[in-house]
Amino acid sequence: MQVGVVGDDAEANQLRELLAQHRIQAVLVTCADRPTTRKTRILADESPRLPQQLARIDHLSRAPLDSTAEAAVIDALAAVIPGADALICSDYQIGLLTPDVIAAVRRLCAEHRVLFAVDAQGNAAYYHGADLFRCNNHEAEAALATTLRSEADFRRGVAELRRQLSARIVMVDTRPEWNRA
């Protein structure tokens, strides 16, 4: 089950049709004052090679949800979390995961013993208490306000992130060239 926010536009209608066509359950809260997020990739395709992405054009809003939409998202989460095994927050900083929504997720997951997993692009401190926190090396460095230059730095950094976030597991999935064998 997915919970998200869409605009009152053609892209939202297309998304609903695609979800229904593929039998994917979703609760989509409509916000008339924001667009449905759309990412258009410009590709160069020269066979037999794979297409290469040249550019991406994003049409989205990064504004936080208004209180009405925020309450609707929290209500949707309260309805779906009790029946879930895990909840994944993919935070791409487009305004859906406000501090109040995250607090509700944390509380509901704890109350219903649901795994609380996070894929955050920034805002690491928002996700205090996550069971699983995933970031890449740049996001880890930003959260720690330090540079990670060696394997020892990464080990200390992951331990510190785990301590700061009170997370059960911290995963840093992109590593610098020096660490690749």
Q: What is the pLDDT of residues 26-75, one digit of tens each?
A: 999 999 999 999 999 999 987 777 888 899 999 999 999 999 999 999 99
| Separation CA 97–CA 141 (nearest Å) | 22
Please tell me the predicted confidence (pLDDT) of residue 177. Answer: 62
> Per-residue pLDDT tens for 59-70?
999 999 999 999
List domains and CATH numbers for the chain: 62-181 (3.40.1190.20)
| Under 8 Å between Cβ of 76 and 107 | no
Q: What is the 3-state secondary structure (H, E, C) of 116-174?
A: EEEEECCCHHHHCCCCEEEECHHHHHHHHCCCCCCHHHHHHHHHHHHHHHCCCEEEECC
Whether the pLDDT of residue 180 is over 60: the answer is no
What is the pLDDT, as a whole number, of residue 176? 60
For 113-142, write each residue's pLDDT tens digit. 999 999 988 889 999 999 999 999 899 999
Tell me 32's DSSP state. T
Q: Which residue has the tokens 């794979």?
A: 50
Query: Is pLDDT of 179 > 60?
Result: no
**pTM for the whole structure:** 0.87
* 39 touches 57 (CB < 8 A): yes
129 backbone dihedrals φ, ψ, rounded to 5°: 90, 5
By CB atoms closer than 10 A (0-12, 13-18, 19+), residue 91 is middle
